[in-house]
Amino acid sequence: MKTIMPLIILISLSLFLYGQADNWIQIVGDGFGFPTQNTVPEMEVYNGYIYASTSPLGAGLAKLYRSASGDAGTWINVTPPVNGDKSIHSFGTTTLNGGYIWCGTGGPNGLAIFRSHDGQNWIQISKRGFGNTGLYGATPHMVLFQGTGDTIPYLYAGGISHGGVTPAQVWRTPYTNTDSLQWDLLVDFATIDSNVTIASYFYVWGDTIYFGTDGIGQLWQSTNGINFTKNPNVGNGFSDVNNFVLSSLAVFNDTFYITTTNNLGGQLWRSGNGVSWEQITGNAFGEGNSVSELRSLRTSFGKLWLTAYTNTSFSTGTPIWRSDDGLNFIQSNTNGFGNSNNNGKNAITIGFGNYQYFGGPNYTDGGQIWRADMTTGIKETTSTDCSITIKPNPFNNYAQINLCMECPDIVQVDIYTLIGRLVRTIKPSSERQIIIQRDALSNGMYLYKLKTQRGIEKAGKLIIE
């Protein structure tokens, strides 16, 4: 289980060189009329509707909206009967038995699981916190799974304290159940590893159900749906103590993908067999500590998508990435869609109809929803729209970057090490020219990323000798 550095460098370069914003349009920009609803932490698709939840950072309760078209102005409030809940951060769906959608809420009274046939009328099917109000959050992405000894599928849900004092738990119930007492406790980390306070994500791959955790990023799995064991090949955070959460799971092209939370920059790993793991990025595709978590792995339109939990002290806005092959990723948007206030916790992306949707935070104006039309084709960056020259390169004291007349004005240039650590951000004193001073930079190779006012990004290598 080794990181192949040349592979990471190649991927980082391909991201820099070929990343280009798709055509994203804002659908919601004010928390559905409630700016104090600062985030859109979860989205789901069920029975011809797209659902989006909102959460306040301060006063107020979580809300849930849905739309049949996803268009602006068509969303209606379908919030379940929350009781002090600050978040709706978990969904699960099925078409079995006429179809069900489940949502999990979180708040000071303990999590609750709700179920609905029609997506509007909800019944609570669990006790608060499964009987322990210290479990005040629900694990994202509830799933159905039928183990080797089961005659019907079961709904799997988790209770978490998200860094609190109560260790995480994993529960299941028959998928048709409405009895809040008919749940079985499968995993109680109070008896295994009390440092685990988050069961972070459920996913089913083949005949196995998986979930991730915090407690230095563990992956647990089961084939019978009852007895779970820790995946020894992931171990604790892929042997990186900074990977303190496995944040999302997905399967794309019959390959298993895992993202991590890491304050040095979220990571992405993949495996074709659950045994041998390959690192795709170790620094959030060059964003470094501005993206402390890669999250929301989703598959749609033949692509693998993911977005980020950003650190507002460092980040210029939430990014979205996509890949056609699961190896080479490009950035689908400019950070924050050009607005640095579109930044912070728990962004989400999902496909619905002809569009890829994004839900994310804005602590000033309210939670955001954006979408990109997937039927009009996805434009990639070409090298013909805007050309640059760098002289000298290699350089000793300084290098000068010049843009051609077809290029829009420079916004900034970021300089990274080969492992993706941001070492300098330079603002231009001229519209078409920027000077990179060596100053305290050591000899060696660096990556640069130049951004212009229209979102065009150019990148390449700098060598200091």
Tens of pLDDT, residue by residue over 374-419, are: 987 554 433 345 677 888 989 988 888 887 766 777 778 888 876 5
Would the CA dihedral through 116, 118, 122, 123 be positive or negative? negative
* pLDDT recorded at residue 365: 97
Write the DSSP assignment of 170-188 as a string of letters.
EEEEETT---TT--EEEEE
Digit-by-digit pLDDT tens for the chain (465 residues) are 334 344 444 444 443 433 345 899 999 999 999 999 999 999 999 999 999 999 999 999 999 999 999 999 999 999 999 999 999 999 999 999 999 999 999 999 999 999 999 999 999 999 999 999 999 999 999 999 999 999 999 999 999 999 899 999 999 999 999 999 999 999 999 999 999 999 999 999 999 999 999 999 999 999 999 999 999 999 999 999 999 999 999 999 999 999 999 999 999 999 999 999 999 999 999 999 999 999 999 999 999 999 999 999 999 999 999 999 999 999 999 999 999 999 999 999 999 999 999 999 999 999 999 999 998 755 443 334 567 788 898 998 888 888 776 677 777 888 887 656 778 888 877 667 888 899 889 898 888 887 776 555 677 788 898
Q: In 10 A of CB 119, how many CB atoms?
A: 20
Start-to-end CA span in the chain (Å)? 34
Tell me the one-letter amino acid at 248: S
Cα separation, 457 vs 448, whole angstroms: 10
Check residue 108 and give its pLDDT. 96
Whole-angstrom CA distances from 54 to 45, 106, 362 are: 15, 12, 11
pLDDT at 20: 40
pLDDT of residue 433: 81
Describe the strand order of the beta sheet including 457-464 as a list of residue ranges: 422-426, 410-416, 444-452, 457-464
Average pLDDT value over all residues in the chain: 90
Residue 36: closest CA among 60, 63, 52: 60
At CA 202, angle to CA 198 and CA 208, rounded to 5?
130
Inter-CA distances, 205 with 11, 186, 249, 274, 354, Å = 26, 19, 10, 10, 26
Considering the domain delimited by 388-464, tell me its CATH architecture.
Sandwich (2.60)
Token couple for 355: 């569009």
User: How far is 211 from 213, CA to CA, in rounded Å?
Assistant: 7
- pTM confidence score: 0.79
Q: Which residues pair with 120 in a beta bridge?
A: none
**pLDDT given at position 172:** 98
Q: What is the pLDDT, as a whole number, of residue 428?
A: 77
> For position 427, what pLDDT does the model report?
82
- CATH topology for 5-373 is Methylamine Dehydrogenase; Chain H (2.130.10)
Among residues 89, 180, 199, 96, the alpha carbon closest in space to that of 146 is found at 96
> Could you give the residue range(s) of every CATH 2.60.40.1220 domain in the chain?
388-464
CB 349 within 8 A of CB 305: yes
